[in-house]
């Protein structure tokens, strides 16, 4: 292999190096959680006491989220007529890379005797981290090389984890569906990266879709839509999880109906636009995420989903063109409209619900959802809570409802700041000539990094076969 070939495959060299590093780090730092380690249990003839651990009951929802990451996000991004192979394949690669990296970074903040324990919960957390990176990936889809995407993933994961630790550990806020920590963070991180990498030729002739690529993209939409209740409630427990499933289900249904309605109303011909169907129909899942396990009531879930669907469609029609024209922000997938705006809405809804939450509404769940609301020991509030619950109430810093709501908003602001600053710095690193840089002809094209068999058929399927094309999501 010559020097030129090595330069053109530098992402392959980078991946080999990273995999070797991961193997060494896992060999020295990572162990099974006791629930997955036969030697750590109490032998009882055929199984250990840990074999029936509750972690096993989490697997079905974990698998739902896993499908969302690889099939949902992967196919959602295949709308570009000449970038389908790259979209679904690079989604696959970046997600797998992030899973390995996220377990290490997340584990560093939750060490057990200096080691990282792996169980089903840490795998699920890694999937959530991958979701944030893939959301950012959607902003720069088709405009970045594999090596640049690898760099983005490596830098974004630590910033993501630090922000989440600040919110969950130090501010003690609730974000069950990760709408703030995953969706809003991933969207604004990606937008900041896009701002740094902005190029005038982003509207390449390859940027656009046709009926075939739009149909493939709908596969991703439908998988995401069906499995989103699991994403928003996988880590909740008991009635909180049940409530999270119901709220997400209703919010998604509402956003679907309203998205179709607003899309048709905004069209002069009264027609529905496929990018709205592929994306805005999912906005309800994002918008209800922070408050998914809270008592928003069924009508509240419908209201949140309806607002999210309308805002998302308006985003595609109004905000995205304005951002590109006035702010040097080219958003390939319209991530701002599906994840950014609904993510901010979710943070606001969560803050409102937290500010009005009371023990009359939640009973014992109040202290599960908002641990900081638990009363201090030997106080009147603790005695009243204990009497009401019938068991000793949990202890906490006795935070008021108003304070909880305020800190929910503080967490949202910190998330946006961390995302933007982290994205700007990451974009500067990605811009270095050390990494592959795409030429104008390489934008939104599979040919630069993938072997495309039967090229003429490929081009016919991706925009030259008489199908009606539409422009990129501007």
Task: List CB contacts of 211: < 8 A, sequence separation 6 or more.
Answer: 467, 468
**Phi-psi region at 172: left, alpha or beta (left = phi > 0; alpha = psi -120 to 50):** left
Task: List CB contacts of 69: < 8 A, sequence separation 6 or more.
Answer: 95, 127, 130, 131, 134
Residue 112 phi/psi, 5-degree rounding, is -125, 105
Residue-wise pLDDT for 203-215, tens only, equals: 667 778 888 988 9
Residue 444 near residue 204, CB atoms below 8 Å: yes
Fold classified for 61-199+209-356+400-439: Ammonium transporter fold (1.10.3430)
Q: Tokens 């899309």, residue?
A: 263
> Distance of CA 7 to CAs 2, 184, 365, 429, Å?
9, 35, 56, 18
Neighbour-count burial for 176-205, b at 16+ CB within 10 Å, e otherwise: bbbbbbbbbbbbbbbbbbbbbbeeeebbbe
**Dihedral angle, C-alpha 404, 410, 411, 417, nearest 10 °:** 180
- Which of 137, 177, 160 lies closest to 414, judged by CA? 160
Q: For every one of its 474 residues, what pLDDT tens digit does the chain have, with 9 covering 90 and above? A: 444 455 567 888 899 999 999 999 999 999 998 877 666 654 444 554 455 456 777 888 999 999 999 999 999 999 988 888 899 999 999 999 999 999 999 999 988 889 999 999 999 999 999 999 999 999 999 999 999 999 999 999 999 999 999 999 999 999 999 999 999 999 999 999 999 999 887 666 777 888 898 899 999 999 999 999 999 999 998 889 999 999 999 999 999 999 999 999 999 899 999 999 999 999 999 999 999 999 999 999 999 999 999 999 999 999 989 988 888 889 999 999 999 999 999 999 999 999 999 988 988 888 899 999 888 777 776 677 766 666 666 777 889 999 999 999 999 999 999 999 999 999 999 999 888 888 888 888 888 888 887 654 455 444 444 444 455 444
Q: Please report, rounded to a whole number, the percentage of residues in the chain having pLDDT higher than 90.
A: 64
What are 280's two structure tokens? 């805005």
What are 61's two structure tokens? 């929802």
Is pTM beyond 0.85 here? Answer: yes
- Compute the radius of gyration of the chain from its Cα atoms: 23
Residue-wise pLDDT for 46-68, tens only, equals: 554 455 456 777 888 999 999 99
């Amino acid at each position: 292999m010559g020097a030129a070939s090595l330069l053109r495959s530098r992402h392959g060299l980078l991946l080999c190096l990273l995999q070797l590093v991961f193997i060494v780090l896992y060999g020295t730092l990572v162990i099974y959680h006791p629930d997955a380690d036969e030697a750590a249990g109490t032998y009882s003839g055929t199984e250990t006491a840990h074999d029936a651990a509750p972690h096993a009951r989490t697997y079905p929802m974990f698998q739902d989220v896993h499908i969302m990451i690889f099939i949902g996000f992967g196919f959602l991004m295949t709308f570009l007529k000449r970038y389908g192979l790259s979209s679904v394949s690079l989604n696959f690669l970046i997600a797998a890379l992030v899973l390995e990296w996220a377990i290490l970074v997340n584990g560093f903040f939750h060490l057990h005797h200096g080691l990282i324990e792996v169980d089903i919960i840490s795998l699920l957390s890694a999937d959530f981290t991958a979701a944030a990176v893939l959301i950012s990936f959607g902003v720069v889809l088709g405009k970045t090389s594999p090596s640049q995407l690898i760099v983005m993933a490596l830098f974004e994961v630590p910033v993501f984890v630090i922000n989440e630790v600040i919110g969950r550990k130090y501010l003690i806020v609730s974000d069950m569906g990760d709408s703030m920590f995953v969706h809003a963070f991933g969207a604004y991180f990606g937008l900041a990266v896009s701002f740094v990498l902005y190029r005038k030729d982003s509207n390449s002739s390859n940027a656009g879709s046709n009926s075939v690529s739009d149909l493939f993209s709908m596969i991703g939409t439908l998988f995401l839509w069906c499995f989103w209740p699991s994403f928003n409630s996988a880590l909740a427990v008991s009635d909180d999880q049940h409530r999270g499933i119901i709220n997400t289900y209703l919010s998604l249904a509402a956003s679907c109906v309203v998205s179709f309605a607003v899309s048709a109303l905004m069209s002069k011909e009264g027609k529905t636009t496929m990018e709205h169907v592929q994306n805005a129909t999912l906005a309800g899942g994002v918008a209800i995420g922070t408050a998914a396990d809270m008592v928003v009531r069924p009508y509240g879930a419908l209201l949140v989903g309806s607002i999210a669907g309308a805002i998302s469609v308006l985003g595609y029609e109004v905000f995205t063109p304005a951002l590109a024209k006035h702010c040097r922000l080219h958003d390939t997938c319209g991530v701002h409209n599906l994840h950014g705006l609904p993510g901010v809405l979710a943070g606001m809804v969560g803050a409102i619900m937290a500010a009005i939450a009371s023990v009359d509404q939640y009973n014992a769940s109040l202290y599960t959802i908002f641990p900081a609301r638990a009363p201090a020991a030997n106080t009147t509030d603790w005695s009243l809570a204990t009497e009401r619950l019938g068991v000793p109430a949990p202890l906490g810093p006795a935070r008021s409802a108003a304070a909880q709501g305020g800190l929910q908003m503080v967490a949202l602001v910190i998330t946006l700041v961390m995302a933007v600053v982290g994205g700007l710095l990451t974009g500067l690193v990605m811009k270095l000539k050390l990494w592959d840089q795409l030429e104008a002809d390489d934008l939104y094209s599979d040919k630069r990094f993938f072997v495309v068999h039967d090229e003429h058929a490929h081009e016919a399927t991706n925009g030259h076969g008489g199908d009606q094309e539409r422009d990129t999501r501007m």
